[in-house]
Amino acid sequence: MNILLDSSVIVSLFINDKHKHKAEEIFTNIFNGELQACIPDLVLVEICSALRRRTNKESAERAYKKVEEWQRKGILSKQEMDEEILPIACSFAINYGVKGADALITAYASYYGLKLATFDDEIKEKLKEKLDFYNGQM
């Protein structure tokens, strides 16, 4: 199964929050080859920003290097920006009130037909009719 990872999943992997166990399960399935996961470049920026704000510079740098390593090894793939994504993101922002970065990330999932793995309840609620969400089952 192909999924797109929201930054919330990766951030939870690197910090001890209520979603850590679920993030670990998702990444176990990725590392075992049961899931193929991709991220837009924007997610990498969001991870660095969130970890820097919640923890410290060193943690953010470690996560940045680890995600880049996973991309180099083909564990996570990058999802390229296509000119069709921006109008979808704008539509999600205008019609559903989705925040800027979230609108772009969800637009990737929509455009590429990928299930979105996210712990963001606001995204799930606002776009429940527009996107397929990964719930941990294959």
pLDDT tens digit sequence for 40-75? 989 999 999 999 999 999 999 999 999 999 999 999
> The domain containing residue 28 runs over which residues?
2-126
The answer to the question of residue 135 being in a domain is: no
The answer to the question of residue 96 being in a domain is: yes
- Higher confidence at residue 80 or residue 48? 48
Tokens of 94: 């205008």
pLDDT at residue 138 is higher than 80: no
- pLDDT for position 80: 82
pLDDT tens digit sequence for 33-48? 999 999 998 999 999 9
Instruction: Return the CATH number at 119.
Output: 3.40.50.1010
pLDDT tens digit sequence for 87-137? 999 999 999 999 999 999 999 999 999 999 999 999 999 999 999 999 886
The answer to the question of residue 111 being in a domain is: yes
Q: Count the domains in the chain.
A: 1
Q: Is the dihedral of CA 127, 26, 101, 88 positive or negative?
A: negative
The answer to the question of residue 131 being in a domain is: no
- pLDDT for position 61: 98
User: 103 near 109, Cβ under 8 Å?
Assistant: no
Angle in degrees, CA 68, 72, 77, rounded to 5: 85
- pLDDT for position 86: 96
pTM score, two decimals?
A: 0.94
Residue with token string 């799930």: 124
The answer to the question of residue 133 being in a domain is: no
Tokens of 43: 């997610």
